[in-house]
Amino acid sequence: MSIVLPSGSAEPFTATAKYTAPVRRPVEPVGRFFLAHASRTLRGHTWSEFEKLEAEKNVKKVEEDEDLDLGDEEQSAELLEHDPREWKTADLYAVLGLSHLRFRATEDQIRRAHRKQVLKHHPDKKSASGGLDQDGFFKIIQKAFEVMLDSTKRQQYDSVDEGANVLPPAPKSKYDFFEAWGPVFASEARFSKKQPVPQLGNLETSKEEVDAFYGFWGKFDSWRTFEFKDEDVPDDTANRDHKRYIERKNIASRKKLKQEDNKRLIDLVERAHAEDPRIKLFKEAAKKEKEQKKWEKEAGSRKAAEEAAAKKAAEEEAAKKAAEEAAVAKAGSKKAKEAAKAAKKKQKRSIRGAPKDVEYFGDASNATQIDGDIEILIEKLDDVQLADVATKVTGTDASTVKSAINSVVSDLIAGGKLDGSILKYFGK
Amino acid sequence: MSTVIGITFGNSSSSIAVASSEGKVDVIANPDGDRFIPSALSYVGEDEYHGVQAESQLIRNPKNTIINFRDFIGKKFEEVKIDESLQNGAKPIKGANGEIAYEITRNDKVEILSVEEISIRHFKQLKLAAEDFIGKDIEGVVLTVPTDFTEHQREELVKISNASGLKVLQLINEPTAALLAHLSADDGERSLQDKIYVVADFGGIRSDAAVISVRGGIFTILATAHEHGLGGDKFDAALSEFFAKEFEKKYKANPRTNARSLAKLKAESIVVKKTLSNVQTSTCSIESLAEGFDFHTSINRLRYELTTRQSLSEMTAFVERAVTKAGLEPLDIDEVLLVGGVSNTPKLASNIQFIFPESTTVVAPSLDAKAINPSELVARGAALQASLIESFDDEEIKESLQPIVVNTQHIIKPIGIKDASGKFHPLLVAETAYPIKKSLQVTNGESSSILIELYEGKRTIKETVIEPTKDEDDSEDEEDSDEEPEIVKELVYEAGDKLATLSLKDLKPNSQLEVTVNITQNGVLHFSGRELKQGSVAVKGEITSA
């Protein structure tokens, strides 16, 4: 029952009175309605703005939920003509129109896509547009749906789903390492029993992460199985031996395929590792670092060696200099000696000649005795006395010569260098 | 499970609750298995007893057992009047700083514990119990407080909680928490109904009541009432006295002279009281009550209700007083929510039902089997609030509690429209906080142009006299009270002052119309009417408050 309003006609709007003055009271700050009130008050939203915001929030959620074009993909003519007996060779995801999702498709998405395909390809529909024997593709759809809903069968199919594989770049061609290999590893990652799988990363990825990445792929634990490629085992009981033979063959071929796949993966990872520019960079960096370290490590001994070499050089230099100096000095002293010798000779000669020059002090009869004494004196005199006496006795009169010789004799006797008794003339 | 919890800390017992993100609430049991953990601490030798274990020490070790200390938080010794009859544990004394403290003996050494220290220890025990249950550290807690807790007491309580390692997210009022839990029970549908509630909380040693209006999910407290000393302990005392008399009569021995006998009597009275809430008859047996005599008797519910009659009528009067304090009449109350352990008593619920008209629902376990356990309500509400504000950071919570947000304008008279028969239909009921927007769908009937008149409602009480139906067969009772005609009172709002008129023209018969009233924050009332069809233009206008 709805409220019926009174009839009548008036101005569109007339205000008659004011409503009673409000009273201010505290509301209790609890409950979600209070939180909404608080957010309205604090952010200054009006009611309609607030409602709009709330409504927008709700709309977004709805949009996220739906993907309406699921399963709208068109199948290729080739696929539509596929022999239903050979359904295993068909691309089962493409059959359901899920080739863009593949192993990522959820069960719900598979169900919805299947429903769409059934609506489109049901034999009843086909026969209506002529042709009665048109249920081949429908059979494949049903087979695909059966496989997709059984988790074991789906895993087996995903293992051999070529459509989801990303091939590595052709060797020896030019390509960007990360662009080419990133998707390869991303697609291989789906086989990992351990999730999440580390990403390839980029040139800036740290060494630890890169090492962890190759470490993970080196120990890759794959769930990939190859039952899907089995040859059909005949289910008649007539030929049991043949059946067992086929079973054995299947097991062997699975094993072989698994080994091949493991080998393929190992090769793949090795190739990527070999081509990875980061590994090269790390190697170079490591080498540089090693050298740097070595250089630093040897810094101590090198310094010591340098010092030793410098010291040795200095010593050699000093020795050379000393030798030169010595040679110079040697040469100088030879000359001086010779000069001194000559001067000595001259002095000796002048002393020896002095008595004779003054006619032996008027005492020529004792000339031999005087000369004998002079010879003894000259032998006894040292260089200084010799020079001294020589200057005293040259070019003077007899008494001066005599007194000079006498004083020298008395000096020598006093010095104990000369025995007065051996002198025959002087010292008397 | 969420790591924020709600705690209600009462004088007699405390409860912990945690809400899951789907809104399911668990009341947590402590390691003893109690969901209503007695707020009691007891010291024996080195050991600290807590909860039920501490409470049972009241018989043997009352001097070292501390109970009923919540209300003393943040109070000075001089400020409070201590009711000795409620303190049958350790006696409160004056502490070093004038606060209330207790003196206990621990390992022959006398210790003075302030109320704050005791509360911290109590909270630590609660925290342990909660962490035991959840298995994670507690990140935050919403605490409930009685409405008459002063600002200082609230601050002290926050300090205590923080000191015990529980970060306080928000303090909320106990009656509001109880109401929140009650309204959230039906997926929150109930909170969208505009009703006025009385939340009556009967605790152990005090009673509180609050009149709360719920408008568009927003709660406003219209009035509160408090009565200290009125509570479940009064029932225990009355029962104890009854048993004591009977014992005296039987054995000529007085159990009241001995503290231990009294404690035993009280403990057994509590058990009997709880039993009688569920069954008609209960036995009471106490070994060696006094002078070596064992005591065994039985009591039925009627006897119990007679014994506790005085407290029961006091409680009923107390609820009535709260309604009067709000300036309302029992007719205005849509629901009465009973909270606290005493609410389990069937007589209390029926007594309260009696003072309200039949249109008022009383929510109590004895009247409604689906009602939430009244002892759990407050803790549940706190847990719900905790889970609501869990995702907010402290700054946001603080901002939301500012007076500018919390203090809002409320219209005091209902505002609505009048239909063709002159009946008043409220769009906004009295005590609605604004900003608010409400719409109502109406129709024009057969007329092509209509008037939408906005009125303020006028409260009137319609009295309908129902003539007693004459029972022809029963001739004996003819002269009895049956002859008195029954008067049924009904609260009716009539159109009072006209505020504004809108007119819509050129309408097809029976088209759908929408009338909207929107009061903005600054008090302007926008009134609009439009036809509910694509491209229709709304007729609108605005009025202001007086």
B207-249 tens-digit pLDDT: 999 999 998 888 999 999 999 889 999 999 999 999 999 999 9
Half-sphere exposure of B281 (CA within 13 A, CB side): 3
DSSP string, B177-211: HHHHHHHHTTTT-GGGS-EEEEEEEE-SSEEEEEE
Q: What CATH topology corresponds to A341-422?
A: Helicase, Ruva Protein; domain 3 (1.10.8)
Q: Give strand ranges (E) for B370-485.
A: 407-411, 415-418, 424-428, 432-434, 436-443, 450-466
**What are the beta bridge partners of residue B530?**
B514
Per DSSP, B163 falls in state H
CB contacts, 8 Å: B389 with chain A: 35
DSSP state of A163: G
Number of neighbours of residue A93 by Cβ within 10 angstroms: 24
Q: What is the pLDDT of residues B481-535, one digit of tens each?
A: 455 677 777 888 888 888 888 888 888 888 888 888 888 888 888 888 888 887 7
Q: How many helices (H) and strands (E) does chain A have?
A: 17, 3
Burial class of residue B248 (count of CB atoms within 10 Å of its CB; 0-12, 13-18, 19+): middle
CA B249, B251, B255, B256 torsion-angle sign: positive
Q: How confident is the model at residue B478 (pLDDT cuts 50, 70, 90)?
A: very low
Which amino acid, residue B177? Answer: A
Percent of the residues in chain B that have a pLDDT greater than 90, as a whole number: 41
pLDDT of residue B129 exceeding 80, the answer is yes
Domains annotated on chain B, with CATH: 4-172+382-400 (3.30.420.40), 189-230+313-372 (3.30.420.40), 232-309 (3.90.640.10), 409-457+497-543 (2.60.34.10)
The answer to whether B179 and A31 are in contact (CB under 8 A) is no
Mean pLDDT (whole number) for B261-274: 91
Interface test with B, best of A24, A27, A52 (most B CBs within 10 A): A27
CATH architecture of A77-164: Orthogonal Bundle (1.10)
Closest residue on chain A to B144 (Cα)? A30
Q: Report pLDDT for A312.
A: 93
B353 pLDDT more than 70:
yes
- To the nearest whole number, what is the mean pLDDT of chain B? 87
Does the bond joining B435 to the residue before it have cis omega, within 30 degrees of 0?
A: yes
Please compute the mean of the pLDDT values over residues B164-180 and round it to a whole number. Answer: 93
User: For A177-225, what is each residue's pLDDT tens digit?
Assistant: 888 888 888 888 888 888 888 888 888 888 888 888 888 888 888 888 8
Report chain A residues whose CB lies below 8 A from the CB of B498. 16-17
| B488 three-class SS | strand
pTM: 0.62
Residues on chain B touching A2 (C-beta within 8 angstroms): 441-443
Size of interface A-B (CB pairs under 8 A): 212
Q: Strand B424-428 vs strand B432-434: parallel, antiparallel, or unpaired?
A: unpaired
**For residue B5, which of B390, B399, B391 has the smallest C-alpha distance?**
B390
Q: Is B367 exposed, middle or buried (0-12, 13-18, 19+ CB in 10 A)?
A: middle
For residues A356-373, one letter each, b for 16 or more C-beta atoms within 10 angstroms of the residue's C-beta and e for the rest, the string is eebebbeeeeeeeebeeb
Q: Which two tokens stand for residue A196?
A: 């999440």
pLDDT score, position B245: 93
Distance CA A128, CA A126 (A): 5
In a 13 Å sphere around the CA of A178, the CA atoms on its Cβ side amount to 11
Q: Do A31 and B436 touch (CB under 8 A)?
A: no
Strand order in the sheet with B100-106: B92-94, B100-106, B109-114
pLDDT, tens digit, 9 for 90 and up, residues B333-342: 999 999 999 9
Burial A204-227 (b: 16+ CB within 10 A, else e): ebeeeebeebbebbeebeeebbbb
Give the confidence band of B477 by pLDDT, cuts at 50, 70, 90.
very low
CA B165 → CA A81, B50, B139, B192, B425, distances in Å?
73, 18, 9, 37, 53
For chain A, list residues with pLDDT below 50: 63-65
Contacts of B178 in chain A (CB under 8 A): none
**Residue B254: closest CA among B245, B263, B242:** B245
Predicted local distance difference test score (pLDDT) of residue A366:
76
Cα B350 from Cα B366, distance rounded (Å): 9
Nearest CB to A29 within list B401, B411, B437:
B401
Report whether pLDDT(B312) > 50: yes
CA–CA separation, B242 and B298 (whole Å): 12
CB contact under 8 A, B381 and A30: yes
pLDDT tens-digit series, residues A89-131: 888 888 888 888 888 888 888 888 888 888 888 888 777 666 6
A50 against B160, higher pLDDT: B160
CA distance B190 to A128: 57
> CB A47 to CB B389 under 8 A?
no
Distance (Å, whole) CA B477 – CA B490: 29
pLDDT of residue B482: 53
| Cα A409 from Cα A424, distance rounded (Å) | 12
Place of tokens 């006299």: B465
Nearest-Cα distance to chain A for B374, in Å, is 19
Q: Distance of alpha carbon A28 from its chain centroid, rounded?
A: 62
Q: Establish whether this prediction's ipTM goes over 0.85.
A: no
Is residue B527 left, alpha or beta, with left meaning phi > 0 and alpha meaning psi from -120 to 50? beta
Helix axes B377-389, B174-184, angle to 10 degrees: 80
Cβ contact B217–A25 (<8 Å) = no
In angstroms, the CA A334 to CA A158 distance is 110
The pLDDT, as a whole number, for residue B208 is 93
Q: Using only C-alpha atoms, what is the Rg of chain A?
A: 63
Distance CA A195, CA B280 (A): 64
Q: Is the Cβ pair B433, A42 closer than 8 Å? A: no
Which amino acid belongs to residue A128? A
Are the Cβ atoms of B219 and A46 closer than 8 angstroms?
no
Residue among B192, B197, B211, B219 with most chain A CBs within 10 A, to mutate = B219
CB-CB neighbors (< 8 A) of B413 in chain A: 19-20
Give B-chain residues touching A54 at CB under 8 angstroms.
none
Q: With cut-offs at 50, 70 and 90, classify the pLDDT of residue B89.
A: confident
B518 with A7: Cβ contact below 8 A: no
Chain B contact set for A45 (CB, 8 A): none
> Average of pLDDT values for B136-156?
92
Query: In this predicted structure, what is the pLDDT of residue B473?
Result: 53
State how far residue B487 is from chain A, nearest Cα, in angstroms. Answer: 29
Residues in B closer than 8 angstroms to A38, CB to CB, are 399-400, 405
Cα–Cα dist B121/B48, whole Å: 9
Give the pair of three-digit tokens for residue A365. Answer: 């009869």
A11 CB near a chain B CB, below 8 Å?
A: yes
First-to-last alpha carbon distance for chain B, in angstroms, is: 51
Collect all residues of chain A within an 8 Å Cβ-Cβ radius of residue B541.
12-15
Query: What per-residue confidence (pLDDT) applies to B337?
Result: 94
Touching B: A residues 40-79, CB under 8 Å: 40-42, 46-48
Bridge partners (DSSP) of residue B197 are B212, B335
Residue spans of the domains in chain A: they are: 34-65, 77-164, 177-284, 341-422
pLDDT at B362: 92
| φ, ψ of residue A265 in degrees (nearest 5) | -65, -40
- Minimum-distance CB partner of A8 among B172, B437, B449: B449
Bond into A234 cis (ω within 30): no
Residue whose C-alpha is closest to residue B313's, from B367, B362, B351, B265: B351
Q: Count CA atoms closer than 13 A to B544's CA, side-chain side.
A: 2
| C-beta of residue B251 within 8 angstroms of C-beta of residue B276 | no
Å between A64 CA and nearest CA of chain B: 22
Instruction: Please report residues of A whose CB lies closer than 8 A to that of B449.
Output: 7-9
Closest-CA distance of chain B to residue A1, Å: 9
Residue B86 scores a pLDDT above 70: no
Looking at the DSSP assignment, which residues form a beta bridge with residue B141?
A: B5, B168
Report the pLDDT value the prediction gives residue B5, as an integer from 0 to 100: 92
